[in-house]
Structure 1
Amino acid sequence: MTGPPPGASAADPSPPTLALVNDERPARLDVGIVGTGRVGAVLGAALARAGHHVVAGYGVSVTSRSRAGTLLPDMPLVEVEEVMRRSGLVLLTVPDDALPGLVDGLAGAGAVHAGQLVAHTSGRYGIGVLDEATRAGGLPLALHPAMTFTGTSVDLQRLSGATFGITAPEPLWPVAEALVVEMGSEPIRIAEQHRPLYHAALAHGANHLITLVNDAMDLLRAAGVEQPDRMLAPLMSAALDNGMRQGDDALTGPVARGDAGTVASHVGRIAGAVPEAAGSYVALARRTATRALAAGRLEASDAEALLDVLADAPGETDG
């Protein structure tokens, strides 16, 4: 298991997995997937659609194994060591906290072979987490898709136009970029030292947006709206589009106008209807006021009154 991959000799330091075909795509790879969850199964299917050979996968839960059977029906499910043995490119699609231990265990067991592309899909980590695999002769790639996954064929369509945050050693940038392009997405280079901040930005924007949306729907239900999604969808879609296009110039509403009385009323009503949402409203209103002031959307005198109201507002942890 420590020898060269199929098709490469021990004396050949440039394995065929890195060769480019005439149309500048990587040569077809034998792909293995360790972790056939939402991300792994979808990316495997995307690579198969691009013409690569998904030769083996490993999944623990019944759900992940079922997902693999749906998206990759011809892929055999085997033990991790066998996935590694068969693969010229292995995708380590496991949770962030499990990744360092998995990499160290694979390298320690001699499961990484020379010239094997070892890629993970964690946003938090760059290629440093793959150091043990690199020392064993692996070629490290960090390929993080900047999108949420359902683990269904819908995700394959969403990959078109999505971006990946990629990190790689200099000689491997073209390989990382080509793989992402083949999946229908756009590669964006992220420096190793910036991976944690990059991931924090995505989590703050996407994950907290889900919380915000659901808090808003809970409040509308409390206000008697039976289908809050129908009311919020066009408003939030327009707000998101405007924010992306115009930045802070897109700010509207009582905070941007400096309507301290309205904001105070909001806080009281939210605290009465959905108390656990009050703290996030106050925190976001403060941050919105700060940005609106800096952007010239809010007068200093109005901002002072507004921030006074928010300073006295009850948070979700207040008694």
Structure 2
Amino acid sequence: MGRFVARRLLQMIPVFLGTVTLIFFMVHVLPGDPVAAMWGDKAADPAQLAAFKHSRGLDQPLMQQYFDYMGKLFHGDFGMTLDNHKVLDKITAALPVTIRLAMLAFVIEVVVGVTIGLFAGLRRGKAFDKTSLILTLLLISIPVPVLGFIFQNVFAIQLGWITPTVQDSMNWGQLLLPAIVLGSLSLAYVARLTRTSIAENIKSDYMRTAVAKGLPRRKVIGTHLLRNSMIPVVTFLGTDLGALMGGAIVTEGIFNVKGVGFELYHAITMKEGATVSGFVVVLVLVYLAASLIVDLLYAVLDPRIRYA
């Protein structure tokens, strides 16, 4: 197991460097001059413009800027925004908000999705199974922005159960509705994936053997059926955790949640390369960590898997 973890950590290094490099150059080759845009409709003074670029190293060749950025990054310096704020301060302020939102959405999709999928798989072809397939297909068909505005209009404006936008990101109750919207699509996929896996494994030889031995139904389903059926679901959930954090741009925009997605969208529109790259670095690390955890969970769920 130790060798496997070490090998996976070494494999993450080129993935991390490649992703950060790609994002850096993609952001910096976008058309337009974000520094000149700081003056708005007024024409920027050439001397001030040149002085500002020189102070930030933006007048250097692109490759030189890249090596300077990577050197600072490995020392924990994510750079500065165009309005003289540390990118690291923005990350430390926005990341906890998105983590709370993503984890709440993750718990909802796991608990609700796996539960629906389990009962639908055990009752394949019956009313509950058919109803769950229709509802999950409906969730998959509705775009997240549309679903967000529907929920906001119904539960906030018409029923008045919550505020239309999040006023306090520390309040879990205010984050509940955005979390439901954020996790709705993944919830539908988890439910359908669990249902398919349960329906396939319930016909396996080890299930017939467990039933023939007279094991209690709770143990047959919980220990044997559900444990083996969760392997493909865990694979999806591992990659989805990073997607929840990166995909919160629309949801955070609708409900005015000042998290990673909100700040990332603002940075992209302003073409702030350092800010975009900084947030992408964090999201890449989340993806890599989630991928490693998923690989390790395989051995827990399936004892037949051994890492040499």
User: Normalising to structure 1: TM-score of the pair?
Assistant: 0.24
Larger fraction in strand: 1
Structure with the larger RCO, 1 or 2 (CA within 8 Å, 6+ apart):
2
Higher helix fraction (1 or 2): 2
